[in-house]
Amino acid sequence: MKITDQARDLLDQLLEDEQAECLRIFFAGYGCGEPDIGLMLGAPEADDELHQVNSIPVAIDKKIVHLTKNLTIEGKQTMEGPKFQMLGLPEKDC
């Protein structure tokens, strides 16, 4: 898993502003028969693996940790606020 430098800077500021412990990557249900991944700021849960990625504390739900191996999180600042994109997820057949 990778977090780009731009995403790191945005996440670092968000974690501070929201007083959150980490970026949490979690199982968000199924789409097209494949697991969906969600991102949120918060605290790790009991079933999470803890990682440090490009200086960002990350908690990953153990059920989907295998899906994050090739994951890259990119971020950019927009007029509406920070936007994040997850690249490298498995293709879905929909």
Instruction: Indicate whether this model's pTM tops 0.75.
Output: yes
- Write the DSSP symbol of residue 88: S
| Domain membership flag for residue 27 | yes
| Domain membership flag for residue 56 | yes
| Domain membership flag for residue 94 | no
Task: Please name the amino acid found at residue 54.
Answer: N
Q: For the domain that residue 56 is a member of, what is the CATH number?
A: 2.60.300.12
Q: pLDDT by residue (tens digit) across 75-92? A: 999 999 999 999 987 676
Count of structural domains within the chain: 1
83 vs 86: CA distance, rounded Å: 10
Q: Which domain holds residue 43?
A: 2-87
Q: pLDDT by residue (tens digit) across 29-71? A: 888 777 789 999 999 999 999 999 999 999 999 999 999 999 9
Strand pairing class (56-61; 48-53): antiparallel
